[in-house]
Chains A and B, each alone.
Chain A
Amino acid sequence: MDQLGTRRLTIVTGHYGVGKTEFAVNLALAMAAEGPGVMLADLDIVNPYFRSRERKPLLEAAGVRVISSSQACSDADVPALPAEVLTLLEDRGIRGIIDAGGDPAGARVLARFRPKIVQEDYQMLYVLNANRPEVRSPESAVNCLRSIEAVTGLTCTGLVNNTHLCGETTPEEVRKGAALMEEVSRQTGIPALCHMAEAHFLEALADLPVFPIEIHMKKPWEAGRGTALSAPL
């Protein structure tokens, strides 16, 4: 968290399905725990499901203001951006997180805001996941990173490892991602910031800088959706 929350704006990018939204949601909650004025902008105009706006009630309860690309209908795939995004960019009293869509295609929307972003104290993070087949090699991960930089006109300032296998994640999986991140960092000169892992992995990964997360982007059958039913016979 020390390395992650110091800039006023944090832009989260990466390949489809690496876990950008899970990271953005957890980062927003961690920042909100430190103080008010946190805002999360869901600018994913590419993905129709599993978007951070789905966790709006949870985030708002924690004091995070959430804005998304289609306020009126969170289930649409309308490529429209709300004017409210400007609040996050212009109000320097706000600590903002921008959850961009996957790949260069999803991140392209950031280009429009580049002139404003570069005037701010910002960081653009690139999330890595060594289990995603299209970005598991250092070459493909760097290619994706450079393409995102090219379409956004912004420079990545830090790497985050989110290598996992959903419920089958082990510390070894996180370490596999750590090796990928190290190599990407070596090739690009971009600092490796941290590894995302659920809190119960902290001990096994004590030698690594871990950003402890809770899984919020759940599937409809996964535990923790609500209270369990208890109906007596």
Chain B
Amino acid sequence: MAKELWKGNEAIAEAAIRAGCDCFFGYPITPQSEVPEYMSVHLPAAGGVFVQSESEIAAVNMVYGAAGSGMRAMTSSSSPGISLKQEGITYLAASELPCVIVNCMRGGPGLGTIQPGQGDYFQATRGGGNGDYRTLVLAPFDIQETVDFVQEAFDIADQYRNPVMVVCDGLIGQMMEPIEWRPIPKRDLPPKDWAASGRRGRARHNVINSLYLDPESCEELNQRLTVKYAEMEEKETRWSAVNCEDAELIITAYGTPARIALSAIEELRAGGLKAGLFRPITLWPFPEAPLHELAGSGQVKVILDVEMSSTGQMLDDVRLAVEGQKPIRYLGHAGGVMPTVEEMADAAWTAWKEVQQHGGHL
């Protein structure tokens, strides 16, 4: 199929429509406003429902209602708007409702900036809502992955009856790239016989609920969710390793910094430092085992984590996976500033020289 030129946010919306999204509920916020804008024109034309809600909180609760009745439902926003959705997300997870949530991340904290950021890693992977729940988090780094993942997200959500987040940063939402519409892997999806969409001859009506007054029943829910999350960890963990086979320095990054890292690695290798990129594609489940194994291999001397976050957030997961086997250094920018190829390469050289001087010790 011929390639087409798509802007990230429009592509997200089109991908959702192609995946059979029935309902979109959202509220404009830069840098993701093209998603609801595109949806407002094209989703009704495809037979779906578009509602610009009065707020982000209303939108996520509309998703709860639509998903509860068996519809393929979606919402999208950018960082501050996703914060507002957190209560709804924990309710969706507790009620085991499949849905897709897109976060086109911008610089924070607070209202922050409208330029790209990655400060919502904790929020996405740890859950900004209450209780023990997980959302599967896909992090594309180009527009092709973005359209593939948004389509897959609907299937993954249906398969596990769980919210799935697609997190991209503002740059991916705003930039243009050539893509092709290609088929996504087929999954065997269970029927939605749990949906509150009419009794249909059953003995009892279905109930969508997250309130359990009986503690034993609530723990039973938690145990069921725990088993489900373990299955997701086992079957859905994704990552990409580029030039890692002989790498002495590993850059860990996702989204836009991972794209920048690919150029930095070329420069580093041209300069004589064997560098590779380890890129988590699912932020949860985090690819802990493969990173642990890579860090343990003899030739790897140091790991450089790069994020558009001032404090480092994925850095915690990198440390948990590396388990102290090798030193880890960090390069971060926040507030909407992106790292450059040159400073990433500089940081790699600095990290490399430090471990050379200290004999590889932390």
Contact = CB atoms under 8 A, between A and B. Distances in A.
A219 B171 contact: yes
A131 B30 contact: no
A229 B30 CA distance: 34
B114 A17 contact: no
A85 B272 CA distance: 51
Given A49-B31, A220-B256, A16 B7 contact: yes
B349 interface: yes
A221 B178 contact: no
Nearest to B345: A229
Contacts of A229: 267, 271, 341-342, 345-346, 349
Interface residues of B, number: 39
Contacts of B259: 219-221
Interface string A49-89: 11000000000000000000000000111000000000000
A221 B341 contact: yes
Interface string B1-29: 00111110010001000000000000000
Contacts of B7: 16-17
Interface in B152-194: 170-171, 174-178
Contacts of B341: 220-221, 225-226, 229
Contacts of B340: 220, 225-226
A132 B171 contact: no
B180 to A, nearest CB: 11
Contacts of B262: 221
Interface string A154-193: 0000000000111010000000000000000000000000
Given A50-B175, A221-B341, A226-B341, 12 more contacts: A16-B10, A48-B115, A49-B170, A50-B174, A75-B113, A77-B30, A77-B114, A166-B177, A166-B178, A220-B256, A223-B263, A229-B341
Interface of A: 16-17, 47-50, 75-77, 129, 131-134, 136, 164-166, 168, 219-223, 225-233
6 contacts: A16-B10, A166-B176, A220-B256, A225-B341, A226-B340, A230-B271
